[in-house]
Structure 1
Amino acid sequence: MDRVSQLWRLRRRARRGVFCMALFCMTMAVLYTLCAENSVPVTDAIFGVRARTRAQPRAHSIVKVIRGAGGSKPMYVDPQKLPGVIPGDPQKPIPVLSSLNYSVEASQKQQHSGSKEKERHGLLAWLLVRPLRRALETILGARRGDGQNLDDFFILKGEAGVIWNDETSSSMLSKRLKKVVQNYKAMNKYGVTFSNPEGGRRQQKLSGPRLLCQLKDTVKMTTLTPDMDPFTKFPWASQLPAQPLTSTIGPFKTCAVVSSAGSMRKSGLGKEIDAHDAVVRFNAAPTTGFERDVGSKTTVRLINSQVMASEHHFLSSSLYSSGTLVAWDPAPFSSDLNEWYNRTDYPIFQQYQRYRRLHPQQLFFILHPSMQWQLWKRIQENMAEPIQKNPPSSGLLGTVLMMSLCDVVHVYEFLPSRRRTELCHYYQNFKDAACTMGAYHPLMYEKNLVKRMNKGSDQDIYNFGRVTLPGFNTFDCTHTSNFSHF
């Protein structure tokens, strides 16, 4: 065998080895991306940010999002000081993903950098041909063509521009979101047994005043107190407020409900929001760094049990130390307190006790689970199709809570304004239409209900994302004639 032939064979083996190694590495990267939900940096590097944010993760998985630069050990980050970092809600099919270095400020810098396209598409987008790349993105639920066009859910209202269509239904959703919503409609984790003579369909569309009176008469704002069973037998029950929330704070004249929607960004509504007598915020939504758009006052913060139990550093973060805290946890449809106590979604009662020991002077209430399901029934009764058998969103719960405490309630960006966007939260750069339309929560139907009850103008919705709702104590529902003052 001559020397040339031997060199040729060695080169051929080397090329085969390199090719096999590259194929192996790419295969392992794909498997790691598909199987390890905590691989946010890896997913971004291989498929790009957009592919990762379009992916459809498992509904009940916990997503770790705070990682150090040197490994996977979680790092403490105060959400108030670094508002771009917040873990997602594992009960929602679209979690909020982030990393320590993926803050709002960093993303804004990326928009003007020359590496924008490389970051957006990822390494795999440059190495694979387009058909194979699309096939892989389809496996991840990341096909770009399946994005939801938010314009489909708005109607033209003359000089008011385009506003939310209160007849929005699941038939208007994209294929991807429609499948997600249908899956949640098929689930019945909380044992919902609701039915009505109309078979789940309303007989007629109620007017705004009638809807308001329906809420006032049937949705009771109740919080847990030490004299309720089974808490009477627990020594820690003394940590619960002796009086319900509605007897402890308020009443207020004007209140602001500040949603965490991405359309709050660049709204310039901060001063207007802070001018209210009381302001309610949700979960880990920060104010520091966003005062111009969302204000700085916090009177009430409504938090779900997942926030209390997750990596939000609930027990130590300064974000939760101001104002009154109100917590809630999805409970069985029966709202039986004994049953709920033994099967909470997250350890709300354990975390409540720990927090109260650290902050004994701060007002901290827990919503009675009956309230969320009373509200759910009103949504279902007034929709023309079955809704998800899951509790309403924190946004609607907070709105009804403030209607029980205030004379006038202004809700900001619950109905999207002209700034409408697929951006999920104003403090993060994560986009998905599911954040506007809902998936786990019946958010789309909640928006329909709020639009019908709005007492403000369509111009207010279009320009400011502001809905005006009257407090329950400001109107009398005993006679139909009393509706005229609306």
Structure 2
Amino acid sequence: MVTLKHLSVKDNDEDSVPLLPEASSSESPTTQHHRAESREFFLSRRNNFILSIVLLLSCYSALLVPAYLPTPEPIWTNDSSAETLALQNQSAALLSQSCRSGWSVERVMTLPTPTGLLKIPVFLENGTQDWALPPPLGLQGSEEIVAQALKALPYTGVPTGPETCRRCVVVGSGGILRGKNLGPHIDQYNIIIRVNDAPVFGFERDAGSRTTIRLIYPEGAPSLLQEYENTEVVALVVFKSLDIAWLTSAVTKVPLSWWSKLWFWREVIDTIPLQPENVRILNPEIMYRTGQVLQTYAEKQRKMVPTLGITAVVLALQVCDEVSIAGFGYDLQHPGAMLHYYGSLRMDAMRAQVVHDVSAETILLRELVKAGAVQDLTGAL
């Protein structure tokens, strides 16, 4: 130990003795290297954090920004102009002939299976029998609310038309309809049947401009007022009891509770811009018997819920002498083809749905077309 006037400093070879401040500059190169590495580590971690945030924001932008950009309208280029012209000539020739009374029903009677699709009351009336099945194939558990709805509907009959012979066309939503220029032909039919929110406004050239009967359910009802113009009847297809309550609300203008609205899978309109006399409820027996017939064409036996398209065809067989269809036929072999004549959905979207058996429906429609009971104006079947 060396003692200098009030200052004691131990020799450097003694343990656990702190160095004077001036001694910090005498750190070994190894210690300095470790300190530099430590600083680089923390700087690197900060840089990595910033880079991660930038990458995360970039991923969100790549996913979200395109959803807000305008989507180019797909162009239907499946048919040549020669094929389109041939379809127009075929349609014109059909309309130039005299209407054949009872023709479609007679042709259905020649087939063994589809005869179960005939002689079905079209719309519900007061006193309709109770069905042993729940909606959409029956009215089990909904009898009271159906009775209330029918009190708000003054008419339950079929729309007016020629009493001697009626020509009907069911306009499907298929992309095959786009570019066929069949709108003026469709408008010449006595009864024009459409489904859900398939638009007329802006698509008159291909789809026509008039609507006699539009089959809807709440989530599929058109939201644009223009789509109800030139419409004679809107008919509800009941998929659940709440659908009937919605119809009563839409007709009477008494709003549904917020709690009831929560049970729809998408937003629904509050009112139907038509008078009560222009509203009907489809008889669920049409859905039930259509499903029964479809069972014979299905690969797997299960409860069949028909699409509104095939339901509309069966409806037409009840009220029409001649039945034509346009915009039917799913081209599942070409997943990039347009699913609808409007919008941007592609055919592969049909593969994701599990509710309907479109393959069985296609077989049934082809059988009806082959028998001459139904005329296919767009040639996809």
TM-score normalised over the length of structure 2: 0.61
Residue equivalent to 1:319:
227
Identity of aligned residues (%): 21
Hey, what's the Cα distance between the residues in 2 that align with 1:42 and 1:347? 39
Residue equivalent to 1:14:
46
Residue equivalent to 1:299:
212
1:384-463 maps to which residues of 2 (within 5 A)?
385-416=299-330, 422-435=337-350, 439-455=354-370
Runs of 4+ deviating beyond 4 Å: 1-11, 22-27, 41-45, 231-236, 248-252, 416-421
- The answer to whether the aligner puts 1:211 opposite 2:118 as a matched pair is no
- Cα deviation, residue 258, structure 1: 0.8
Distance 1:465-1:225 versus aligned 2 partners, 3 A rule? same
- Cα deviation, residue 213, structure 1: 2.7
Q: CA RMSD in A?
A: 4.1
Hey, what's the Cα distance between the residues in 2 that align with 1:466 and 1:411? 10
- Cα deviation, residue 436, structure 1: 7.5
Hey, what's the Cα distance between the residues in 1 that align with 2:338 and 2:248? 31
- The answer to whether the aligner puts 1:273 opposite 2:186 as a matched pair is yes
Contact 2:171 2:192 in 1 (8 A): yes
Residue equivalent to 2:290:
375
Residue equivalent to 2:14:
none
- Cα deviation, residue 352, structure 1: 3.5
Residue equivalent to 1:328:
237
Hey, what's the Cα distance between the residues in 2 that align with 1:355 and 1:250? 28
Amino acid corresponding to residue 192 of structure 2 in structure 1 = V
Residue equivalent to 2:199:
286
- Cα deviation, residue 392, structure 1: 0.3
- Cα deviation, residue 409, structure 1: 0.9
1:2-401 maps to which residues of 2 (within 5 A)?
8-9=40-41, 11-22=43-54, 29=60, 43=63, 45=65, 102=70, 106-107=72-73, 209-216=111-118, 220-228=120-128, 230-231=143-144, 237-245=150-158, 253-308=166-221, 312-313=222-223, 317-321=225-229, 322-330=231-239, 344=241, 346-355=242-251, 357=253, 359-360=274-275, 362-380=277-295, 382-383=296-297, 385-401=299-315
- Cα deviation, residue 8, structure 1: 4.5
Distance 1:348-1:208 versus aligned 2 partners, 3 A rule? same
- 1:448-482 Cα distance to aligned partner (Å, 9 max, x none): 0110111478xx86x83267xxxxxxxxxxxxxxx
Distance 1:437-1:23 versus aligned 2 partners, 3 A rule? closer
Distance 1:267-1:438 versus aligned 2 partners, 3 A rule? farther
- 1:138-197 Cα distance to aligned partner (Å, 9 max, x none): xxxxxxxxxxxxxxxxxxxxxx9xxxxxxxxxxxxxxxxxxxxxxxxxxxxxxxxxxxxx
Question: Where do 5+ consecutive residues of structure 1 fail to align?
Answer: 30-40, 50-98, 112-159, 161-205, 331-342, 468-486
- Cα deviation, residue 403, structure 1: 1.4
Q: Secondary structure at the match of 2:342?
A: coil
Hey, what's the Cα distance between the residues in 2 that align with 1:233 and 1:265? 38
Question: Where do 5+ consecutive residues of structure 2 fail to align?
Answer: 1-31, 77-86, 88-107, 130-142, 254-272
Bigger Cα Rg: 2
Contact 2:176 2:328 in 1 (8 A): no
Contact 2:154 2:277 in 1 (8 A): no
Residue equivalent to 1:34:
none
Distance 1:388-1:306 versus aligned 2 partners, 3 A rule? farther
- Cα deviation, residue 384, structure 1: 5.4
- Cα deviation, residue 325, structure 1: 0.8
Hey, what's the Cα distance between the residues in 1 that align with 2:62 and 2:302? 33
TM-score normalised over the length of structure 1: 0.49
